[in-house]
Amino acid sequence: MQSQPAPGSCHATDSGKFSEPDPSCTPGALNPAVTQATIGQTICMSGYSESVRPSEHITDKEKLASMAAYDDSGSPGDFEYDHVVSLELGGAANDPRNLWPEPGKSPNPKDSVENSLRRLVCSGQMSLAQAQKIIATGWIAYYRSNERQAQASPSAPASPGGPDKPISEINCSDFATHGAAQQWFQQHGGSASNDVAGLDGDHDGVACESLP
């Protein structure tokens, strides 16, 4: 088990779904294996996050110690043991500098920012370093800015049949038909040059060709 800060030594800012960790305790930490040069073999590969996520039998004890550090009472189920820099953006998997007891459960506003930033990184629209900085120190401002833009724009039609999970965990088995997979793929910026979620293995712009 990773050692944690002393009980009562950490103090979150704000509260509820917009809480942020104490930067002196939990500033965030990165996985050195994930760099701008390796995103194609790491975070932009389907299933990457789950491949590096530590098991709960390890993190459950660490979560309790982290809750004590933040002087959090109540049930562990009321908190998500959250990665400050998410796994899908190259955060360290099991480092006390990168994990803290975030109030509430997933999904939450930060999850949507993580997914949005990963799409931008994997499509070449944002550098990995910039995305990591935003998620560690500016995700609330990013969320609120994009929320205002969405409210000011006409609502887009909902995507039928889209999987309710992070993009990094999606694969062809999540779709019933090739058409549904192709629609989701294109709506998320997929193309012959941008294999979103690994659905287009031969890079011809056609997702999940084996599906009916």
pTM for this model (two decimals): 0.70
pLDDT at 212: 76
d(CA 103, CA 193): 39
CA distances from 159 to 98, 139, 156, 164 (A): 33, 25, 9, 11
d(CA 39, CA 61): 31
d(CA 187, CA 184): 5
**For every one of its 212 residues, what pLDDT tens digit does the chain have, with 9 covering 90 and above?**
788 999 999 999 987 889 999 999 999 999 999 999 999 999 999 899 999 999 989 899 999 999 999 999 889 999 999 999 999 999 999 999 999 999 998 788 899 899 999 999 998 989 999 999 999 999 999 998 876 665 565 544 444 456 777 787 888 888 888 778 888 887 777 777 778 888 888 777 788 888 77
Element containing residue 42 per DSSP (H, E): none
User: Cα-atom radius of gyration of the chain, to the nearest Å?
Assistant: 18
Element containing residue 102 per DSSP (H, E): strand 99-103
| Number of residues that make up the chain | 212
Single out the residue of 30, 166, 43, 19 nearest to residue 100, CA to CA. 19
d(CA 36, CA 40): 9
